[in-house]
Amino acid sequence: MTTSTPVKEASPPAAPGPAPLRRPRRRRAAVALLFVLPALLLLGALVVYPVLFSVGRSLFDASGTRFVGGDNYTEMFRDPATLKAIRNTAIWVVVAPTLLTGLGLILAVLVEKVRWATAFKLLLFMPMAVSFLAAGIIFRLAYDHDPDKGVLNAAVTGVHDAFAGTSSYPGARARDGRDGALVEEADGSYRTGAGVSPGDTVALGLVGVGPDDLPSGAKAAYGAAGRDAADDEVRGVVYLDFTPGGGGEQGRVDRSESGLPEMTVEAVRDGRTVASTTTGDDGSFRFAGLADGSYTVRLPASNFAPPYEGVSWLGPALVTPAIIGAYLWIWTGFAMVLIGAGLSSLPRDALEAARMDGANEWQIFRRITVPLLAPVLTVVFITLVINVMKVFDLVYIIAPGPVQEDATVLATQMWLVSFGGGNNQGLGSALGVLLLLLVVPAMVFNVRRFKRSQR
């Protein structure tokens, strides 16, 4: 199949064939124009004219009546909202294409090594067919702050609680207004009001734990509360000072009252924690081997801390990385498939020769694969940069109302300024022109690449 300059070969002087069959040149040009006219009209009216119009409009003020020259362009870098959009777009353009190209390269190399490569590629490529809107809804849901809704925070809190342990009794407190055993400290911990000496037994009553919140293994504290302490130890129970079904006496361990298991208890002397333990199923604890003296028994604040609430993915700080994450889900397959296509066209001999020479996989990857793939990686990277600059839907959908201004990028800002209440079409046009200027290098790249392919 001939690929050589069809543009030139088709031109009339070179066209062979008997003269009578050739139609007059002007007639043929007229036919050709009929073929291109619909496309040229549409492109002219809806693409080329708007570009020129926007450039002109960007030089006028919000209402379009007063010529302001470059004011809209300087305003862009002064107005905090548009400046934020420019900064965020810069973050997007640096981070997303780099991560995508890297991830695509790694996956493209690895997937070659398994037999189910095709299935894997299809799975990763599929999000390309999903709209940004649907992806936006999916990730809004995934990033939901409530661990009972958002799968990411469910995972994060799950992992956190597995390692850091849960604080068991977020609502527990001592009874108010009693000169009882426990005093609340400023940091939220509780300590015994009076000094405790070795040989003493203490009963630390708390309330504010619902019957459903009691651990399932909790046992009655009555037995443990009656046990005597040896001379060198302090014993005690932490119990729920509440008798189910009523009755019972406040401040006393009644028969049916439950112990509070898994509570951290500390023995403190002169402000220093000298021993620490956790309560058993019946709420009992015991500090053995204590020297004589006066101690306080303390229930540290960690027992009562509110539960860990996970990461605020869509808060102001993380919203942009979070949306980039959703973008990765959509585009990684694209990068992988394109790089994979480049990979399969690499000369096998070079790789085999290197293997024979004893190079390991990493050396081959680093010294041979990547350099040979450089042109493909460039094309992928540039394609991604162009697309990332124009990202709109994902940011518009995922960022919740209050953090929209933290997540805003050029395309969303242009929308907000022009149509979404800003109603400053001068500044909006300038932002549109800025978007266009940013893709001009890609434009030049495309035109050059095309011209080269025609030579």
Partner 1 sequence: MNAVRRYLGNGIVQAFLVLVGLVWMTPLAGLFLSSLRSAEDTAKGGWWTALASPGQLSLDNYSALLGNSGITRAFWNTVLISVPTTVLVVVVGALAGYAFAWLDFPGREPVFLVVVALLVVPVQIGLLPVAKLFGQLGLFGTIPGVVLFHVAYGLPFAVFLLRNYFAEMPKEMLEAARMDGGDEWRIFTRLVLPVGKPAIASLAIFQFLWVWNDMLVALLFADSSSQPLTVELQSQIRQFGSNIDVLAPGAFLSLVVPVVVFFAFQRHFVQGVMAGSVK
Minimum distance of partner 1 from residue 90's CB (angstroms)? 16
Considering only residues 362 to 381 of the shown chain, the ones binding partner 1 according to CB under 8 A are 379-380
Report which of 80, 324, 159 is spatially closest to residue 151, judged by C-alpha positions: 159
The token pair that represents 348 in the structure block: 């096998």
Q: What angle do CA 118, 123, 124 make, to 5 degrees?
A: 100
**Applying CB under 8 A, which of residues 104, 150, 261, 283 lies at the interface with partner 1?**
150
Entry field: residues in the chain: 455
Residue 219, Cβ density class (10 Å: 0-12 exposed, 13-18 middle, ≥19 buried): middle
- How far, in Å, CA of 233 to CA of 197, rounded? 8
Least distance in Å: CB of 170 to partner 1?
Answer: 19
Based on CB atoms, which residue is closest to partner 1, 13 or 177?
A: 13
Q: Does 392 bind partner 1 (CB under 8 A)?
A: yes
Between residues 130 and 350, which has the closer beta carbon with respect to partner 1? Answer: 130
Q: Sort strands 182-184 and 234-240 into parallel, antiparallel or unpaired.
A: unpaired
Query: Which residues inside 322-361 make contact with partner 1, applying CB under 8 A?
Result: 329, 332, 334, 337-338, 341, 361
List 181, 368, 389, 416, residue binding partner 1 (CB under 8 A): 389
Q: How far is the CB of 8 from partner 1 (least distance, A)?
A: 9
CA distance 395 to 414: 13
What's phi and psi for 236, nearest 5 deg?
175, 180
Site for partner 1 in 106-135 (CB under 8 A): 107, 110-111, 113-114, 120, 122-135
Three-state SS for 352? helix
Cβ of residue 163: shortest distance to partner 1, in angstroms?
20
Least spacing, CB of residue 406 vs partner 1, in Å: 16
When binding is defined by CB under 8 A, the residue of 105, 182, 397, 403 that contacts partner 1 is 397
Instruction: Identify residues 35-94 at the interface with partner 1 (CB under 8 A).
Output: 35-36, 38-40, 42-43, 45-51, 53-54, 57
Query: Would you state the torsion angle of the CA atoms of residues 426, 430, 432, 435, taken in this order, to the nearest 10 degrees?
Result: -170
Residues 300 to 329 in contact with partner 1, rule: CB under 8 A: 329
CB of 52 to partner 1, least distance (A): 9
- DSSP at 14: G
97 is a site residue for partner 1 (CB under 8 A): no
Q: What is the total count of residues that contact partner 1 (CB under 8 A)?
A: 114
C-alpha dist (Å) from residue 83 to 70, 80, 222, 270: 16, 5, 67, 56
Asked if 335 and 99 touch (Cβ cutoff 8 Å), the reply is no
User: What residues from 228 to 247 belong to the interface with partner 1 (CB under 8 A)?
Assistant: none
As measured in angstroms, the least distance from the Cβ of 440 to partner 1 is 8
In the complex with partner 1, the residue whose CB is nearer, 370 or 444, is: 444
Task: Quote the least distance from Cβ 369 to partner 1, whole Å.
Answer: 15
Residue with smaller CB distance to partner 1, 114 or 291: 114
Closer to partner 1 by CB, 57 or 235: give it.
57
What's the CA gap between 348 and 365, in Å, rounded? Answer: 13
Could you tell me which stretch among 150-158, 243-251, 293-301, 305-313 binds partner 1 (CB under 8 A)? Answer: 150-158
Nearer to partner 1, 297 or 397 (CB): 397
Structure tokens at 275: 């021993």
DSSP 229-267: P-TT-EEEEEEE---TTS---TTS--TTPBB-TT-EEEE
* Rounded (5°) CA angle 30-33-36: 160
* Residue 190 phi, psi (nearest 5): -120, 145
Q: CB burial class (10 A; 0-12, 13-18, 19+) of residue 63?
A: exposed
Least CB distance to partner 1 at residue 194 (A) = 45
Angle CA 78–79–82, to nearest 5: 110
Find the shortest distance in angstroms from Cβ 358 to partner 1: 10
Cβ proximity to partner 1: between 100 and 181 the closer is 100
Window 273-292: residues binding partner 1 (CB under 8 A): none
Using CB under 8 A as the binding rule, the residues of this chain from 407 to 446 that contact partner 1 are 411, 414-415, 418-419, 425, 428-429, 431-433, 435-436, 439, 442-443, 445-446
- Contact flag: residue 400 with partner 1 (CB under 8 A): yes
Q: Tokens 């862009």 belong to which residue?
A: 76
- Smaller CB separation from partner 1, 109 or 220: 109
CA gap 91, 150 in Å, rounded: 26
Whose Cβ is closer to partner 1: residue 20's or residue 247's? 20
* Residue in 92, 104, 108, 144 binding partner 1, rule: CB under 8 A: 144
